[in-house]
Structure 1
């Protein structure tokens, strides 16, 4: 399926929510087309002048006119995708074929301290937490790990590596080690 791409340094995974300010004509067109057919678009990361191979298919779940007159949209991650045949249209809008990657299997494991630590982070940053409204799943290990990956200061190559994974195991291990190291430093 060919989709429009929105290249940003923003990292969003399935069930992740973020707000965007839209001002360039090519992205206004992208939003209009996405809303017209409810197809969504892909949030893609840039590496230099080119786009990375993996991104997240997102849907627009809300929109508004911002106080400065610009268009504001709220997006939600739907699925991870692998991009191919990446190119640009005449107005500079990036497009690509997007192949859906398998959804990470639901984990029966409880997130324990990962979920508790994320809840504490949300409480410390209510502006970020507000984007999720009541859609918070601190008892779902997939959801918790994906939110951690979104907020951690990772390099693009690390983000690309995690988004390409077939399950959450590597993410869970990485986040666990990171949080345990941080707890040791604070003691």
Structure 2
């Protein structure tokens, strides 16, 4: 399936939520098409002039006219995707590509434990990170917690691409646990 691509330096994983301001004509068209057929679009990353091989399929869950007259949309990640046959359309420069959905990370029976507790503390001290998750906050789910940590951490695109390509959350869990250990995160 071919979908429109929105290249941004934002890292969003399944169940992640963020807001975007839409002002370029090509992205106004992308939003219109996405809302018309409800197929969504892909939040993609760039490396130089190239679009990276992995992205996240997102759907628009809310929209509004912003005080400055621009369109504001709220998007939610639905699945990780691999991209191929990426081209830029001549008419307005919108990027499009063929997508192959990747399976969700298997649900772990393991509780989030320290990772969830530390994310909860981060959300308490930085409520702007938690604001969009009022309805979907799931600090007990290891998968959900690992995905939110990966979105927040300042990772290079190569690292983000590597995590998007993983078939399970084991590497993410190990990585985040190591970072928290190195930072001596103590929970109250």
Class of the TM-score when normalised by the shorter of the 2 chains: over 0.9
Q: Distance in 2 between matches of 1:60 and 1:92?
A: 21
| 1:81 pairs with 2:81 | yes
The gaps in structure 2 that reach 5 residues or longer are none
Go from structure 1 to structure 2 and tell me whether the alpha carbon gap of 1:177 and 1:30 turns closer, same or farther (over 3 Å shift): same
CA RMSD of aligned residues (A): 1.0
The match for 1:136 is 137
| 1:23 pairs with 2:28 | no
The match for 2:56 is 56
Normalising by structure 2, we get a TM-score of 0.97
Q: How many residues align?
A: 185
Could you list the structure 1 runs, at least 4 aligned residues long, displaced by more than 3 angstroms after superposition: none
Q: Deviations over 1:32-78 (max 9, x none)?
A: 00000011000000000010000000000000001111000000000
Q: Distance in 2 between matches of 1:125 and 1:34?
A: 32
Q: Distance in 2 between matches of 1:161 and 1:7?
A: 17
Q: Distance in 1 between matches of 2:121 and 2:74?
A: 24
Q: Distance in 1 between matches of 2:81 and 2:126?
A: 29
Q: Distance in 1 between matches of 2:44 and 2:26?
A: 15
Normalising by structure 1, we get a TM-score of 0.97
The gaps in structure 1 that reach 5 residues or longer are none
